Amino acid sequence: MPHDLSRLSLNTATTKLLTLPDAVDAAARAGYGAVGLWRDRVQETGAEKAAKVVADAGLRVSSLCRGGFLTASDEAGIASALDDNKAAIVEAATVGTSELVFVVGGLPAATVPGGPARTPETSAERDAERDVVATRQRVADRIGDLAPFAAEHGVRIVLEPLHPIFAADRAVISTLGQGLDLAAPHPAHVVGVVVDTYHVWWDPDLQAQVARAGAEGRIASYQVCDWILPLAADPLLSRGYMGDGYVDFRTITRWVTAAGYTGDVEVEIFNQEIWDTDGDSVVATVADRYAELVLPHL
Amino acid sequence: MPHDLSRLSLNTATTKLLTLPDAVDAAARAGYGAVGLWRDRVQETGAEKAAKVVADAGLRVSSLCRGGFLTASDEAGIASALDDNKAAIVEAATVGTSELVFVVGGLPAATVPGGPARTPETSAERDAERDVVATRQRVADRIGDLAPFAAEHGVRIVLEPLHPIFAADRAVISTLGQGLDLAAPHPAHVVGVVVDTYHVWWDPDLQAQVARAGAEGRIASYQVCDWILPLAADPLLSRGYMGDGYVDFRTITRWVTAAGYTGDVEVEIFNQEIWDTDGDSVVATVADRYAELVLPHL
């Protein structure tokens, strides 16, 4: 009997080289229930057409990646971030998902996209660009700015805590508990969180915070992939298929299930070797690993 | 006027290629107040002679690195870890420091020292080797085993939370709060913690946990070095001089000072380029950066 893949979602970053229609086709043929989309491929296809492609294939859109990069401190940077995130909110609604994943951005001194660290003019500027406390406050402020717009469009701002390896350059939200604290001022249907095993597996407070996220109704997505060693030269691409690394999927999946999560399980793997592999093979391997390591604990 | 370097300690891993006497000599000539020693160089010199070398130079030993690697689950591995850590405790007392830094070890599937991940025989073994909750419990158990011996020798077990980048292979203690929770069953003079900026700068709960550590009298060492990007090919060596990366030394140093810490400030940098630099130059650069970025906030 084939495994039940109805809750399995292919985040299309896992098959980065496929167009949106090709990724949707591969997921549908393999029996997946959903896809998680990225904005670049959505824009390439067009959001309305992307929605139709997914619906015609009989799939759901489990999330759109990504909004965020909210940490600018200058007026132009703030305005640009708000504009871009409003566009992302509209795109999420158009492609038919309520869940827009946010990678909130890192320290101004290091945040990507962008090149090397800038050279600040003064010692005070230098300090400000490394002030993680103030940077986090700006994230909270921007979430507050965007929440009404997201609510109007029926889209949830989904905060993604990233592994602390990315705290300087990508996300000053490093733990699930911190994400929930930032979400707390807002209704659960307006601001939620992702639980991504790659990012949070190491957290000594994980069990309690997953339970809290569930109790608050804020688990917008459960994402699974593995922490592999040695790290890739670009740590961003250092993710592996479930089972190839050190994450305890049995335990974490049970915690997520115990927290009441019944939504899609997205597999999002950034890995050059996997990107260089034929899409159908990747989709098949992901399904096998999901069936072996995750599904029994859902 | 020269800067007051009386609280500055050269962790000798920063000048890895120097023998213990040469590192002590360089630190003393530069006006440092202390050195942090590593066991390999202590053993090479002999612990009693090492104590004399440091004392003759008019320096203190701020800490000995390192004990730990407590996560084995088999009887032989446990016995070996206890034996080795008892030897380290005796060495610490002999070289004249009360502070023995512990890197507690990672998951059995990945812990270094050791080679690649082993291939487990069964699915249950595979799960057990990735069970971070059970691994942490073994750390707690081993600390309990060692605490009486440490106390008898006037040596404190100093738990070092390591950046989560090392959670799989080096230390399942990833946050200061978690270190303090593990220390809690024991008196403050028997089990303490290190605050190392490299490992904990990203922690959203850092201010509160530094205050807690101070209030409990458990800050055994304040270590400073910087988080630099891009990461080195070996992430273990991806540390930089203060000021070369993204750590906010001003803020963290003020938190440590506000917590009542008045001890030595150790600089421990693993970095191949720095290791390849002349020892006196390294010691001078460390002193300059300390004077500029840390000392004003102590």
For testing contact with chain B, the best of A210, A248, A297 (most B CBs within 10 A) = A248
The count of residues in chain A is 298
Residues of B within 8 A of A131 (CB-CB) are: 248, 251
Residues of A within 8 A of B202 (CB-CB) are: 132, 164, 167-168, 172, 174
| Selected residue with higher pLDDT from B110 and B271 | B271
CA angle A163–A70–A165, rounded 5-degree value: 15
Closest residue of chain A to B247, computed from CA coordinates: A130
User: What mean pLDDT comes out for the span A178-201?
Assistant: 98
Closest residue of chain A to B244, computed from CA coordinates: A117
User: What mean pLDDT comes out for the span A244-263?
Assistant: 97
Res A286 pLDDT > 60: yes
Banded pLDDT at A186 (limits 50, 70, 90): very high
User: What mean pLDDT comes out for the span B274-282?
Assistant: 97
Work out the mean pLDDT of chain B and round it to a whole number. 95
Residues of A within 8 A of B175 (CB-CB) are: 204-205
Question: Could you tell me if A154 and A171 are in contact, meaning their C-beta atoms sit under 8 angstroms apart?
Answer: no
Which two three-digit tokens encode residue A58? 């009989």
Domains of chain B: 8-297 (3.20.20.150)
CA-based torsion, A119, A121, A126, A132: positive or negative? negative
| pLDDT given at position A233 | 86
pLDDT tens for B11-44 read: 999 999 999 999 999 999 999 999 999 999 999 9
CA-based torsion, B5, B89, B176, A112: positive or negative? positive
- Gap between the Cα atoms of A168 and A176, Å rounded: 17
Banded pLDDT at A120 (limits 50, 70, 90): low
How would you class B76 by CB atoms within 10 Å of its CB: exposed for 0-12, middle for 13-18, buried for 19 or more? exposed
- Gap between the Cα atoms of B290 and B270, Å rounded: 17
**β-sheet bridge partners, residue A38:** A65
Element (H, E) at B10: strand B8-11
- Cβ <8 Å between A110 and B163: no
CA angle B67–B73–B75, rounded 5-degree value: 90
A248 Cα to chain B: minimum distance (Å): 5
Question: Could you tell me if A55 and A96 are in contact, meaning their C-beta atoms sit under 8 angstroms apart?
Answer: yes
Query: In A, what residues contact B, Cβ < 8 A?
Result: 107, 109-110, 117, 127, 130-133, 136, 163-165, 167-169, 172-175, 177-178, 181, 201-205, 207, 227, 229, 231, 233, 235, 245-248, 250-251
| pLDDT given at position A98 | 98
| pLDDT given at position A126 | 84
- Cβ <8 Å between B130 and A231: no
Question: Could you tell me if B8 and B224 are in contact, meaning their C-beta atoms sit under 8 angstroms apart?
Answer: no
Residues of A within 8 A of B251 (CB-CB) are: 131-133
Res A2 pLDDT > 90: no
**Tally of helices (H runs) and strands (E runs) in chain B:** 12, 10
**β-sheet bridge partners, residue A191:** A157
| pLDDT given at position A128 | 87
Banded pLDDT at A290 (limits 50, 70, 90): very high
User: What mean pLDDT comes out for the span B185-201?
Assistant: 98
pLDDT tens for B101-128 read: 999 999 988 865 444 455 666 888 888 8
Q: In 3D, which of B169, B73, B173 has the Cα closest to residue B128? A: B73
pLDDT tens for B38-93 read: 999 999 999 999 999 999 999 999 999 999 999 999 999 999 999 999 999 999 99
pLDDT tens for B209-253 read: 999 999 999 999 999 999 999 998 888 999 999 999 999 999 999
Banded pLDDT at A119 (limits 50, 70, 90): low
Instruction: Kindly report the three-state secondary structure assignment for every residue of B67-80.
Output: EECCCCCCHHHHHH
A48 Cα to chain B: minimum distance (Å): 39
Banded pLDDT at A11 (limits 50, 70, 90): very high
- Cβ <8 Å between A246 and B109: yes
Question: Could you tell me if A283 and A269 are in contact, meaning their C-beta atoms sit under 8 angstroms apart?
Answer: no
**β-sheet bridge partners, residue B266:** B9, B223
Residues of A within 8 A of B181 (CB-CB) are: 204
Question: Could you tell me if B57 and B25 are in contact, meaning their C-beta atoms sit under 8 angstroms apart?
Answer: yes
Instruction: Count other Cβ atoms within 10 Å, centred on residue B184.
Output: 12
Which two three-digit tokens encode residue A198? 């790659």
Residue pairs spanning A and B at CB distance below 8 A: 98
**Crossing angle between the packed helical segments B176-183 and B132-152, to the nearest 10 degrees:** 60
Which two three-digit tokens encode residue A91? 């795109």
Residues of B within 8 A of A203 (CB-CB) are: 164, 174
CA-based torsion, A32, A38, A44, A49: positive or negative? positive
Tell me which of A5-9, A123-127, B58-62, B143-147 is least confident: A123-127
Banded pLDDT at A114 (limits 50, 70, 90): very low
Banded pLDDT at A5 (limits 50, 70, 90): very high
Q: In 3D, which of B41, B34, B51 has the Cα closest to residue B19? A: B41
Res A235 pLDDT > 60: yes
Could you give the percent of chain A with pLDDT greater than 90? 90
- Gap between the Cα atoms of B13 and A294, Å rounded: 42
Residues of A within 8 A of B229 (CB-CB) are: 110, 117, 168-169
Residues of B within 8 A of A229 (CB-CB) are: 110, 117, 168-169
Question: Could you tell me if B89 and B146 are in contact, meaning their C-beta atoms sit under 8 angstroms apart?
Answer: yes
For testing contact with chain B, the best of A202, A207, A227, A252 (most B CBs within 10 A) = A202
Could you give the percent of chain A with pLDDT greater than 70? 96
| Intra-chain end-to-end CA distance of chain A, in Å | 18
B246 Cα to chain A: minimum distance (Å): 6
A169 Cα to chain B: minimum distance (Å): 9
- Cβ <8 Å between A132 and B227: no
- Gap between the Cα atoms of A86 and A81, Å rounded: 9
Res A118 pLDDT > 80: no
Work out the mean pLDDT of chain A and round it to a whole number. 95
| pLDDT given at position B114 | 46
Residues of B within 8 A of A201 (CB-CB) are: 132, 167
Closest residue of chain A to B182, computed from CA coordinates: A204
Closest residue of chain A to B207, computed from CA coordinates: A133
Residues of A within 8 A of B119 (CB-CB) are: none
Residues of B within 8 A of A251 (CB-CB) are: 131, 133
- Cβ <8 Å between A168 and B133: no
- Cβ <8 Å between B246 and A165: no
A199 Cα to chain B: minimum distance (Å): 10
Res A270 pLDDT > 90: yes
Question: Could you tell me if A83 and A128 are in contact, meaning their C-beta atoms sit under 8 angstroms apart?
Answer: no
Question: Mapping DSSP to helix (H, G, I), strand (E, B) and coil, where does residue B201 land?
Answer: coil
3-state helix, strand, coil in chain B (%, to 5): 45, 15, 35
Task: List Cβ neighbours of B135 (8 Å cut-off, separation of 6 or more).
Answer: B71, B105, B106, B107, B108, B172
The DSSP-derived string for chain A is -----TTEEEEGGGGTTS-HHHHHHHHHHTT-SEEEEEHHHHHHH-HHHHHHHHHHTT-EEEEEEEEE-----SHHHHHHHHHHHHHHHHHHHHHT-SEEEEE-B--TTTPSSS-SPP--SSHHHHHHHT-HHHHHHHHHHHHHHHHHHHHHTT-EEEE----GGGTTTTBS--SHHHHHHHHTTS-TTTEEEEEEHHHHTT-TTHHHHHHHHHHTT-EEEEEE-EE-SSPPSSGGG-EE-TTSSS--HHHHHHHHHHTT--S-EEE----HHHHTS-HHHHHHHHHHHIIIIIGGG-
Residues of B within 8 A of A173 (CB-CB) are: 204
| pLDDT given at position A257 | 98
| Selected residue with higher pLDDT from A123 and A48 | A48
CB nearest to B127's CB, from A168, A172, A248: A248
- Cβ <8 Å between B203 and A136: no
**Which of left, alpha, beta for A140 (phi over 0: left; psi -120 to 50: alpha)?**
alpha
| pLDDT given at position A249 | 97
B28 Cα to chain A: minimum distance (Å): 30
Res B200 pLDDT > 80: yes
User: What mean pLDDT comes out for the span B172-192?
Assistant: 98
Which two three-digit tokens encode residue B296? 């004003």
Could you give the percent of chain B with pLDDT greater than 90? 90
Res A115 pLDDT > 50: no
Which two three-digit tokens encode residue B50? 């090492």
Question: Could you tell me if B42 and B293 are in contact, meaning their C-beta atoms sit under 8 angstroms apart?
Answer: no
- Cβ <8 Å between B248 and A165: no
User: What mean pLDDT comes out for the span A57-74?
Assistant: 96
